[in-house]
Structure 1
Amino acid sequence: MRIGSVHIPSPLVLAPMAGVTDLAFRTICRELGAAYTITEMVSAKALCYQDKKTLPLMELGPEEHPGGVQIFGSDLACMEEGAAIIREVAHPDIIDINMGCPVPKVANNGDGSGLLRDLDKACRVAEAVIRGAQGTPVTVKMRLGWDKGNIVCLDLAKMLESVGVAAITLHGRTKVQMYSGTANWDYIREVKHALSIPVIANGDVFSGQDAARILRYTGADGVMIARGVFGNPWIFQQAQAALRGEPIPPLPPLAQRCDTAVRQFELAAQNKGEKIACLEARKHYAWYLKGVPYAGYWKSEISKITTLADVYRVTAGIKRELRDGRGDG
């Protein structure tokens, strides 16, 4: 897949997710087969106001290429300036515009999926980012529309292509659906057939087989995996096997999965400090234990983690139970 001048070596993309896809987790996912990763969304206004907490969000790893930074907002001047700051500070291969976030405090402010209610404004936002990006390819991640009575993805995608957007990622749900119901892949297929730029399919990819199926069904150039990666960065290895028509490798043994989780939290502590990393580790570690028998006690212990020492203690306890024959999960 080629986005503008950027070559992406496989169709497997990690979705940008606030509070999830920090540098540490993106590093793990790339090692396990994600060909392209994108930061958590970065506020254009925060960049313009030089908010110190925002700059670390757009830091890419030394090996994180091709890598993208995602920007959100709807103020044209801020979006142009924000894109310029991203280009100068983070040096991403691609800048992605968020036109899909359904969270009320974002969408109701006219940002994220709020832009799906004003297609002309959405295009002006894209043009502003393209100006600020000064040659860095600009892409858009969006949803089908605000609600099922206002499906605008085909019209908007065509408009965005005409103003110079280099690729579209389409999540097969409306804003009102949030994450409920089923993603509609038919619209993704329709948009793919109508555009000449790459289209990346997103929605309801929870296994390697799902990744292969959505690509076959829609004809999309890439597949973006979001919630399917929670606690399972190995989904990229499984998707690679599915795309090659090979047997899907099973998840590694639980002890190995715990070691990967610990490494993620150690990387996060290096990047953002032990306190924040360990508070955020609580949800991630619980995801790593999803579906594991007898995990209730350890999930309770995980909810109290405040230091890396706590992480090591919980991990040692889980491994001790494994040695005592409580099962591999």
Structure 2
Amino acid sequence: MLGRTIEVAPPKANRNDPLQIIKSRKRTHGRPATIAGPMVRYSKLPFRQICRDYNVDIVYTPMMLAREFVRNAQARISDFSTNEKDTPTIIQVGVNNVTDLLRFTEMVAPYVDGIGINCGCPIKEQLREGIGCALIYNEELLIEMVKAVKDKYGDTLRLETKIRIHEKKAPERTLNMCKQLCEVGVDWITVHGRLRTTRSSEPVDLDAIKYIVDGLKEYDVPIVANGDCFTTKDMEHIAEYTGADGVMSARGVLSNPALFAGYDICPWGCVERFINYSVEFGGLPFQLVQHHIFCMFENMKVNKNHMKTLMTTKNMFELLDFLDSKFDIRRPNDQEFGERVEIPYI
């Protein structure tokens, strides 16, 4: 049963340990751990589930502001829903003080497999609040927050930090911060290989990630590499070049949730599965359903006129009618539902 509010949803009975997944995937699967990163608005329950259908080991929620989440019941209802299959899930938090973090952690701990502190968001509004990327320039606070959570929960709750790198002239600052995080018990560190000011259109700095991986070999703390993963070949290259234990993709899986399953182009089955999960789970605003399908269509190079028409639909009924009129779209009880690769134009 879908938990609409975390106050009444039952805790998960079957938990997965994301740390052991990250540490073991190279040995058990011959590849790095595959991770769908947090995306504002988009990493909701239906999308998390479709990622799991295509070889994604760990999925993140969107970033949630600790202060709003703790104080506002409406924020909790709109931001976080889960169910018994939603595992392993890491809930990402934007936070700037220990008190809010501990309160947030207490509320969400029974329903997730780990918490990730956002230390990489470069948005100016977040920086002004001391959230996101501001934390890599406030190392003492970041270390204090990690230590407070790990002192209280130990290994019963996994804690990650997702960071960007400091200026290129000071790589040792990033490495020293990571060493301090390891010493206070962080379970793994995700490194987005860009500066606070680096645009996503600029290449990710794999050398910076490799520098951190190499510099932390004395610690038993995995590193996840983030940035510019759009295909399986990207994943393999990033992992081999940096030595990272896991590879995270955000924009890549948004347009192609099946990229970690070896599909360079989003297969049609993703569309059918996503629609089914959106209807089954509910709670996803129509505009988000529409935009998810648009992103997949864009990756698949669907007829441009069809894409334009898609964006004119006003609700789920219109969207389903449109899809049925242009494509052979299957339902869950139909043969080959969620399995076809090519676009089934009518």
The TM-score with structure 2 as length reference comes to: 0.80
Which amino acid is 1:234 matched to? A
Measure how far apart 1:61 and its partner are.
Answer: 3.1
Of the three residues 156, 159, 166, the one matched with 2:177 is 156
Are the equivalent residues in 1 in contact too, given 2:193–2:209 (CA < 8 A)? yes
1:222-301 matches, cutoff 5 A: 222-238=246-262, 249=263, 251=265, 254=268, 256-267=269-280, 270-272=281-283, 276=285, 278-293=286-301, 295-301=303-309
Q: Aligned pair in 2 of structure 1 residues 13, 293: CA closer, same or farther (>3 Å)?
A: closer
Distance 1:62 1:293 in 2: 35
Residue equivalent to 1:312: 320
Cα RMSD, aligned residues only: 2.6
Q: Does 1:177 align with 2:166?
A: no
Measure how far apart 1:150 and its partner are.
Answer: 5.4
Q: Does 1:27 align with 2:54?
A: no
- Match of 1:289, SS? helix
Distance 2:299 2:94 in 1: 34
Distance 2:170 2:314 in 1: 45
Percent identity over the alignment is 23
1:142-221 matches, cutoff 5 A: 142-145=163-166, 147-148=167-168, 151=171, 152-195=173-216, 196=219, 197-221=221-245
1:11-50 matches, cutoff 5 A: 11-50=33-72
- Match of 1:230, SS? helix
Distance 1:73 1:140 in 2: 12
Distance 2:310 2:44 in 1: 20
- Match of 2:298, SS? coil
Which amino acid is 2:146 matched to? A
Are the equivalent residues in 2 in contact too, given 1:77–1:128 (CA < 8 A)? no
1:116-127 matches, cutoff 5 A: 116-127=136-147
Are the equivalent residues in 2 in contact too, given 1:95–1:133 (CA < 8 A)? no
Are the equivalent residues in 1 in contact too, given 2:143–2:181 (CA < 8 A)? yes
Structure 2 segments unaligned to the other structure (5+ residues): 1-15, 26-32, 329-342
Of the three residues 76, 94, 105, the one matched with 2:125 is 105
Measure how far apart 1:68 and its partner are.
Answer: 1.5
Measure how far apart 1:250 and its partner are.
Answer: 5.8
Measure how far apart 1:22 and its partner are.
Answer: 0.5
Distance 2:168 2:322 in 1: 45
Are the equivalent residues in 2 in contact too, given 1:81–1:132 (CA < 8 A)? no
- 1:90-118 deviation per Cα after TM superposition (whole angstroms, max 9, x unaligned): 2x221111111112211232101111111
Q: Aligned pair in 2 of structure 1 residues 115, 313: CA closer, same or farther (>3 Å)?
A: same
- 1:225-267 deviation per Cα after TM superposition (whole angstroms, max 9, x unaligned): 11111231110201xxxxxxxxxx564664x443234224324
- Match of 1:181, SS? coil
Structure 1 segments unaligned to the other structure (5+ residues): 239-248, 321-325
Are the equivalent residues in 1 in contact too, given 2:203–2:228 (CA < 8 A)? yes
Measure how far apart 1:293 and its partner are.
Answer: 5.0
Which amino acid is 1:163 matched to? V
Q: Aligned pair in 2 of structure 1 residues 253, 215: CA closer, same or farther (>3 Å)?
A: closer
Distance 1:127 1:178 in 2: 31
Q: Aligned pair in 2 of structure 1 residues 55, 265: CA closer, same or farther (>3 Å)?
A: closer
Measure how far apart 1:169 and its partner are.
Answer: 0.4
Distance 1:222 1:64 in 2: 20
Measure how far apart 1:170 and its partner are.
Answer: 0.3
Residue equivalent to 1:323: none
- Match of 2:75, SS? coil
Measure how far apart 1:153 and its partner are.
Answer: 2.2
Q: Aligned pair in 2 of structure 1 residues 80, 132: CA closer, same or farther (>3 Å)?
A: farther
* Larger mean Cα displacement after TM superposition, 284-293 or 34-43: 284-293
Measure how far apart 1:203 and its partner are.
Answer: 0.6
User: Number of aligned pairs?
Assistant: 304
Q: Aligned pair in 2 of structure 1 residues 29, 302: CA closer, same or farther (>3 Å)?
A: same
Distance 1:221 1:292 in 2: 30
* Larger mean Cα displacement after TM superposition, 41-50 or 198-207: 41-50
- 1:189-231 deviation per Cα after TM superposition (whole angstroms, max 9, x unaligned): 1111222200001111010100011110111111111111123
Measure how far apart 1:28 and its partner are.
Answer: 0.3
- 1:25-70 deviation per Cα after TM superposition (whole angstroms, max 9, x unaligned): 0000001110111211121101321432224534333123222211
Which amino acid is 2:282 matched to? N
